[in-house]
Amino acid sequence: MLQIAICDDETLLLNEIKNTTENCLSKQQVFSILSTYTDGETLLYDIQDGRYFDLLLLDIEMPDISGMELARRIYALLPDALIIFVTAHYKYAVDAYELQIFRYIPKNQLKERLPHALKDAVLLLEIQNMDSYIIDSQNRLERIPLKEILYIEKDGKNAIFHITSGTKRSVEENAPTQKTRRIRKSLTEVFGELHSEEFYFIERGYIVNLRHVSGISRTDCILTDATQLPISQSRLAEFKKKLNRYWKDKV
């Protein structure tokens, strides 16, 4: 299920983009939830409040906040989201390229170019979703790429995900380097849902991502961000072997 946001201050165009998107996704048999916004501030507020979007279609010239600034602030919160600019102005094309915008579509070519852009976006998102952990709770729906998970720790009846800030972009130099997500599940449940050999139970309270392990010091696992986590003595020898194999095969 893809979460898609469309933002344009012109209601007629907003509806046209929405209808075109719905028709394209229906033909591709893609299930999605479309949320529409007539101003960027409301969209940004929803994201700050926990809303997650896989794909966003944004106008550039809007009265409250420009699409460029909106994209910068969205990337700081959702670094792996795909953004498509739909605009009547070509002058922003270079800036859009520097922001690593997925597509740039002139409004007068909407019907011709949007279907192709959506098809490519869906293919890319399907690949990303296959290598992700989905947090699906009453108040949150979010996709966390497995590569961004540093480690997961037990906190009572909760599991806390410690994740990196995602893909580094020039616009997010000041973004925090680590974030956390808390879910009401045991580590055993989470481990069974990861479906990846890159994760290992080093101790009953910690699961680490091997791609973020930089070494072992006595009985501590050292991560690439300098975090040190205890390794169970009974699992130390097996962990060393698994980490050694991973480094030889992957690194």
Residues forming a β-bridge with 221: 216, 229
- pLDDT tens digits for range 83-108: 999 887 666 555 555 567 888 888 88
125 and 10 part of one domain? yes
115 and 167 part of one domain? no
In a domain, 137, yes or no: no
* Closest listed residue to residue 57, CA positions, set 76, 40, 80: 40
Which tokens go with 125? 């998102």
106 and 154 part of one domain? no
125 and 150 part of one domain? no
176 and 213 part of one domain? yes
Work out how many domains the chain is built from and give that number: 2
pLDDT band at 61 (very low <50, low <70, confident <90, very high): confident
Place of tokens 């709770």: 137
CB atoms within 10 A of CB 198: 17
Of the three residues 74, 101, 130, the one that is the final residue of a domain is: 130
Q: Please report the pLDDT score of residue 4 as a whole number.
A: 96
Of the three residues 105, 130, 155, the one that is the final residue of a domain is: 130
In a domain, 34, yes or no: yes
Residue by residue, what is the 3-state secondary structure of the chain? CEEEEEECCCHHHHHHHHHHHHHHHHHCCCCEEEEEECCHHHHHHHHHCCCCCCEEEECCCCCCCCHHHHHHHHHHHCCCCEEEEEECCCCCHHHHHHCCCCEEEEHHHHHHHHHHHHHHHHHHHHHHHHCEEEEECCCCEEEEEHHHEEEEEEECCEEEEEEECCCCCHHHCCCCCEEEEEECCCHHHHHHHHCCCCEEEEECCEEEEHHHEEEEECCEEEECCCCEEECCHHHHHHHHHHHHHHHHHHC
Q: Please report the pLDDT score of residue 178 as a whole number.
A: 55
Q: Who has greater pLDDT, 164 or 166?
A: 164
Q: Please report the pLDDT score of residue 131 as a whole number.
A: 81
- pLDDT tens digits for range 3-58: 999 999 999 999 999 999 999 999 999 999 999 999 999 999 999 887 889 999 99
Pairing of strands 228-230, 220-223: antiparallel
pLDDT band at 76 (very low <50, low <70, confident <90, very high): confident
166 and 99 part of one domain? no
112 and 222 part of one domain? no
80 and 195 part of one domain? no
- pLDDT tens digits for range 171-228: 344 444 458 889 999 999 999 999 888 999 999 999 999 989 999 998 899 998 899 9
153 and 36 part of one domain? no
Contact 162, 178 (CB under 8 A): yes
CATH number for the domain that contains residue 211: 2.40.50.1020
CATH number for the domain that contains residue 45: 3.40.50.2300
pTM score of the predicted model: 0.62
Angstrom distance (rounded) from CA 47 to CA 33: 15
In a domain, 79, yes or no: yes
In a domain, 141, yes or no: no
171 and 116 part of one domain? no
In a domain, 136, yes or no: no
In a domain, 139, yes or no: no
In a domain, 180, yes or no: yes
Of the three residues 68, 101, 130, the one that is the final residue of a domain is: 130
Query: Is the pLDDT reported for residue 167 higher than 60?
Result: no
Q: Who has greater pLDDT, 230 or 93?
A: 230
Most confident of the ranges 43-47, 58-62, 125-129: 43-47
pLDDT band at 143 (very low <50, low <70, confident <90, very high): confident
CA neighbours within 13 Å on the CB side: how many for 185? 18
100 and 156 part of one domain? no
* Residue length of the chain: 251
174 and 96 part of one domain? no
The domain of 58 spans: 2-130
Q: Please report the pLDDT score of residue 135 as a whole number.
A: 84
